[in-house]
Amino acid sequence: MRPDFTPSANVALLKESATLAVAGRARALKAAGRAILDLGSGEPDFDTPAHICAAAGEAIAAGATRYTATEGILPLREAIAAETNARATGPDVVTPSDVVVSTGSKQSLFNACFCLFGPGDEVLVPTPAWTSYYEIIALARATPVPVFGDPDDGLKVTVAQLAAAATPRTRGIMLNSPCNPTGAVYSREQLTAIVELAHEHGWWVISDEIYRHLTYEGEVPAPSLLEVATSRDRLVVIDGVAKAFAMTGWRIGWAIAPHALATSMKALQSHTTSNAATPSQYAALAALVRQEESDAARAVMLAAFRERRDAALDVLAGVDGLTVVPPVGAFYLFANVADAAPPESEDAGTFFARRLLDDHGVAVVPGSAFLAPDWVRVSYAAPLADVVTGAQRLRALYESVRTAARVG
Ligand code: PLP
């Protein structure tokens, strides 16, 4: 007899990451011999720069193979604090003890939410947003409250929309700029207004700035909350090396938080995963301190992302009815396919993404993963030729389904 499994109340409502699920389906089709263009992926398609890999190898050879302090090695936290202080404008200096290094910024986000929020609390999530925010907040037994962004401004939320969604139970806001899935970037003025609103109400702001360095217009890197806030009170900044240094597999992220919260996150992590992998911490240290080499490697990646973004936008420009959020940062295009679904279909994004994968061999992520069911997310972290062909097939499918939907 197979043993029974009834999920505990902790995970009863938990859904698998929809973005990882798409990657899994694309992999399965590839394994079955299909040629799949993978525009679903959320990771740079570049190798980690050589100087970073070499630094990890040297650290291992020098014996960096044991546990470290739970919160991470001091030189890495010093480098993070120094880099932050060099650009932060507020009066509060970040010290290494305000920094907790974790196994990817996903864990940093989990630590922050788990330490800050609990049953009865509500957290405003500007939406569409990265799928894991909703689940992580729910794992803390708090309630994520989606606040839908402004279609005329890259689906970004305004303070008026946030204020309208707030209740006496609101405890925090989860910000993400540049945004996954839209690529939208909040301006300094917009960030300032949001921080002021949060300070006024005593809300925490968690600012996920993991795509900060991947910006193609305006200020590069994109403005950080630490550059506009007048105090670090109730601010948590989440960052990491995964996206900006092509280091997704090394699993290093961090949180910069007021000291008392950092101490609480460290205690939580000491009972879950302990320190992030030791060689990976030395690799991240090299990424931060060997700045010239890192900047040169990133410039190559940025140029490639920009070229692909522009090429995909060219293909999708002027398609009747197809709205695309102008992507300023990250490596995603967010396209509205509401007009290209037969009325009887499930949500438009899911229908469209399935047809595109099954019939045309292109993997994209349905917008329902980001609570935006009329949309699909197209990643341009893929070779230029794949991005162009994928965008052409998306366009062709959109035009044919839209016409059929209208005729039918
Ligand atoms: N935050 C956002 C907005 C992301 O898109 C991702 C990964 O896709 C992460 C955080 C997690 O990054 P990490 O690999 O550092 O855990």
By the 8 A CB rule, do 69 and 75 touch?
Answer: no
Query: Which residues are CB-contacts of 382 (< 8 A; sequence separation ≥ 6)?
Result: 37, 38, 39, 41, 45, 308, 390
**Could you tell me what percent of the chain has a pLDDT over 70?**
98
CA of 169 to the centre of ligand 1 (A): 27
The model's pLDDT over 354-404, given as tens digits with 9 standing for 90+, comes to 999 999 999 999 999 999 999 999 999 999 999 999 999 999 999 998 877
Tell me the pLDDT band of 151, cut-offs 50, 70 and 90. Answer: confident
Distance CA 274, CA 174 (A): 25
Structure tokens at 337: 């396919």
What's the confidence (pLDDT) of residue 88? 81
The model's pLDDT over 271-320, given as tens digits with 9 standing for 90+, comes to 999 999 999 999 999 999 999 999 999 999 999 999 999 999 999 998 99
Distance CA 52, CA 358 (A): 38
List the one residue out of 132, 130, 162, 134 whose CA is nearest residue 148. 162
By the 8 A CB rule, do 195 and 107 touch?
Answer: no
105 touches ligand 1 (CB under 6 Å):
yes
What's the confidence (pLDDT) of residue 346? 76
Residue 68, pLDDT above cutoff 90:
yes
CA of 248 to the centre of ligand 1 (A): 9
Probe residue for ligand 1, chosen from 103, 127, 175, 210 as the CB with the greatest number of ligand atoms within 8 Å: 210
Structure tokens at 311: 């090429």
What's the confidence (pLDDT) of residue 379? 97
Give the residue-averaged pLDDT of 34-46.
93
Taking 3-state DSSP, the helix, strand and coil percentages for the chain, each rounded to the nearest 5, stand at: 45, 15, 40
By the 8 A CB rule, do 214 and 76 touch?
Answer: no
Distance CA 369, CA 42 (A): 13
Distance CA 76, CA 169 (A): 37
Measured by CA distance, the residue closest to atom 5 of ligand 1 is: 180
Tell me the pLDDT band of 12, cut-offs 50, 70 and 90. Answer: confident
By the 8 A CB rule, do 183 and 325 touch?
Answer: yes
**Residue 101 φ/ψ, nearest 5 degrees:** -90, 135
180 touches ligand 1 (CB under 6 Å):
yes
What's the confidence (pLDDT) of residue 402? 83
**Minimum mean pLDDT range among 102-111, 183-192, 225-234:** 225-234
**Minimum mean pLDDT range among 87-96, 150-159, 266-275:** 87-96
The model's pLDDT over 317-345, given as tens digits with 9 standing for 90+, comes to 989 999 999 899 999 999 999 998 777 76
Probe residue for ligand 1, chosen from 20, 22, 110, 130 as the CB with the greatest number of ligand atoms within 8 Å: 130
176 touches ligand 1 (CB under 6 Å):
yes
CA of 250 to the centre of ligand 1 (A): 12
**Could you tell me what percent of the chain has a pLDDT over 90?**
82
- DSSP per residue, 268-293: HHHTTT-SPPHHHHHHHHHHHHSHHH
Give the residue-averaged pLDDT of 81-97.
89
Residue 408, pLDDT above cutoff 70:
no
248 touches ligand 1 (CB under 6 Å):
yes
List the one residue out of 155, 162, 228, 153 whose CA is nearest residue 195. 228
The model's pLDDT over 226-240, given as tens digits with 9 standing for 90+, comes to 999 888 999 999 999
Tell me the pLDDT band of 407, cut-offs 50, 70 and 90. Answer: low
Mean pLDDT of the chain: 94
> 17 vs 176, which has greater pLDDT?
176
By the 8 A CB rule, do 80 and 209 touch?
Answer: no
Give the residue-averaged pLDDT of 171-199.
97
126 touches ligand 1 (CB under 6 Å):
no
CA of 74 to the centre of ligand 1 (A): 23
**What does DSSP say about strands 253-256 and 235-240: parallel, antiparallel, or unpaired?**
antiparallel
What's the confidence (pLDDT) of residue 2? 67
What's the confidence (pLDDT) of residue 91? 73
CA of 406 to the centre of ligand 1 (A): 39
3-state secondary structure of 236: strand
Q: Which of 91-100, 190-199, 397-406 has the highest mean pLDDT?
A: 190-199
**What does DSSP say about strands 143-148 and 170-176: parallel, antiparallel, or unpaired?**
unpaired
